[in-house]
Amino acid sequence: MIIFDAERPSDSSFVERIWCSHSEGASTAFLSTAESRCELVVTKLQGHITMTVRGAETKATPAGSAPTDGEWLGIRLKIGTFLSQLPAGGLVDTKVNLPEAASNTFWLGGSAWQFPDYDNADTFIDQLVRAGLLVREPIMHDAFLGRVQDLSLRSVQRRFLQAVGVTQSTARQIERARYAAFLLRQGISILDTMMEAGYFDQPHLTRALRHFIGQTPAQIQAGSQSEQLSFLYKTKPFC
């Protein structure tokens, strides 16, 4: 199974969270939950290192069995942040492995970059930003909250879709489902979770979690042993 070793916020305005994990023991099925943000993931497996860029995921997806003796570093970008050479729209429900340059470097933007680790991930991100390889839509946060007044609704929707790969409505639904799943895993009752996350009723909550998380509220509460969910941490959803 996969053990999440550590997670922390980032000093960078481009990054939501940084985490690291490893696998040990018997292999278990892994369920990747829906996600509204792009993510950079470094995988170390059998002596080989890979940099993967993941886009938004519109539904929960079985990801097969977690390999044994693997190590992962994840850099979860803030919503609307993406690599300039890999537009978010082309990464929805998919991922891209960047080409390897050497045993400890990969190619991006015509240059070889060293794989980051948990301690220097912020420095790595700063270097990408300075090189113009990591960019963020400036109106993103206000657009998510519906506070943009200088642009037409159509312009906001278009820029949001280009930066995230999914619509504002889909992104809000994903964020709300992830928040509800986190509450349930913390032992919050189904009724209280429904009210806190803003669902109309329990069937509404159940439908959303089945689609975006891949499990029912009761399964999430019980902690299914047959499928391990991807990492969820405490975050208040955008309304």
Instruction: List pLDDT tens digits, range 66-82.
Output: 778 889 999 999 989 99
Q: In whole angstroms, what separates CA 82 from the centre of its chain?
A: 12
Catalogue the long-range contacts made by 122-131 (C-beta closer than 8 Å, 24 or more residues apart).
122/10, 122/11, 122/12, 122/15, 122/18, 124/75, 125/10, 125/12, 125/14, 125/15, 125/75, 126/12, 128/83, 129/12, 129/14
CA distance 84 to 42: 19
123 by DSSP, 3-state: which?
Answer: helix
Q: Where does the pLDDT of residue 224 fall: very low under 50, low under 70, confident under 90, or very high at 90 and above?
A: low
Asked, for residue 157, whether it belongs to a domain, the answer is: no
* Mean pLDDT, range 217-230, rounded to an integer: 78
What does the pLDDT read at residue 239?
45
Asked, for residue 239, whether it belongs to a domain, the answer is: no
The domain tally of the chain equals: 2
Domain with 104, as residue range(s), is 2-136
Kindly report the average pLDDT of the chain as a whole number.
Answer: 88
Asked, for residue 158, whether it belongs to a domain, the answer is: no
Same domain, 172 and 115: no
Distances (CA, A) of 160 to 100, 143, 163: 31, 7, 5
Asked, for residue 221, whether it belongs to a domain, the answer is: yes
**H helix or E strand, kind and range, residue 54:** strand 48-54
Strand order in the sheet with 48-54: 2-8, 15-23, 71-77, 39-45, 48-54, 95-97
Same domain, 9 and 92: yes
Q: Is pLDDT at 181 greater than 80 in this prediction?
A: yes
CA distance 203 to 186: 21
Same domain, 103 and 186: no
Q: Is pLDDT at 135 greater than 50 in this prediction?
A: yes
CA distance 194 to 181: 10
Please tell me whether the overall predicted TM-score, pTM, comes out greater than 0.95 for this model. Answer: no
Strand order in the sheet with 29-32: 61-65, 29-32, 227-229
| Residue-wise pLDDT tens digits, 100-126 | 998 899 999 999 999 999 999 999 999
Closest by alpha carbon to 73, among 128, 117, 17? Answer: 117
**H helix or E strand, kind and range, residue 81:** strand 81-83
What does the pLDDT read at residue 146?
64
Q: Where does the pLDDT of residue 159 fall: very low under 50, low under 70, confident under 90, or very high at 90 and above?
A: confident
Asked, for residue 156, whether it belongs to a domain, the answer is: no
